[in-house]
A and B are shown apart, each in its own frame.
Chain A
Amino acid sequence: MVCRASRAALIASLVVGVLLGQAQTPLPNVDLLMPDEGAVLYRRVPDVPLRLTDGTQVRLSQLWARRPQLIVFVFARCAGICSPLLLSLREATEIVGGAGKEYEVLVLSFDPQETPEQLQRFVQRIGLSAPVGWRFATGDPKSLQQLLKATGFWYRRIEGTDQYDHPGMVVAVGQGRIVRLHVGGSIAPATLRAFIRELRGDRVLTYPLPNSSVLFRCYRYDPSTGTVSADWGLLAMWIPSVLGLSSAVVLFWLTRKIQGG
């Protein structure tokens, strides 16, 4: 009997395999161009020389020795996400507070040809001249390359323009190591708050927020307030218990009713 069962099982498994193989849909792709936080976390950041827009020369280690740094890579001619990212970061720092006390923001041009003056004009143009705790800097090509490589940042020239294709990125550096990395065109206050907590030494767990297209969500999370509320998917967690208990009651009742009949 077992032998027959095993043979039947083998045949059925092959049939099921073939049928499922026919009905394949492509598995979701991952955008490999986006810098991966997991790949760079706790990586040591190279101690590169920098030229600040006020004319002083510093090493990156001098900055992180003083306070944790939030490094943002931009270029002055950017017609894309650089200015929205910087403005959202400024807004987030104003909401969360602590800039210049708990951490500093270092806006660094990744364009090796860019001068401190060009960068200064850019930040003035977008209304970012000298917020408390912010610095703006450029670097020499070789050092910059080391730094960009360590953080997973990339850029490439768009043919026929003076523009670069690049991700928006905020890197939190504490004691010379990458503590967190945010990728996107803006940064929410809740994300910045988590970065600061992490820079303080608290452990903040990460979980990508399911968007509205995600099915069976069990909770809704409001990033602005940090509150969690129940959603329909939560029912799926309780239904098995309720159904399990009620099916037992029904089964006992039915069996005994049939026997009684």
Chain B
Amino acid sequence: MVELNAQFAALADPTRRALLARLALGEATVSELTEPFDMTQPAISQHLKVLEDAGLITNRVDGTRRPRRLARAGIEAVDHWLAMLRTAMEKNYQRLDEVLAGEKRKGTMR
């Protein structure tokens, strides 16, 4: 459960979610990851460390580069979180259809 909490905490930050979303498109170096943000490279590195400690991303050594990529848990977290939103909304509205139909039958609503 500790890891799950660490993952939730890691995912609670919008910058880190955006970093994960970027890494979902493919591996990238710190400088590539820093580019779209109005933040310094050390600040981005700090966020990457949180993601790494939560087991959401990994890095590999490629000469002088250390590209980051999503770990399995990171892929699952991103997918879970994104798919959850759409699926949850669709399910909600199907339930709302039933609630509205029920209220209509009861005649409590016009």
Q: Do A and B associate with each other? A: no
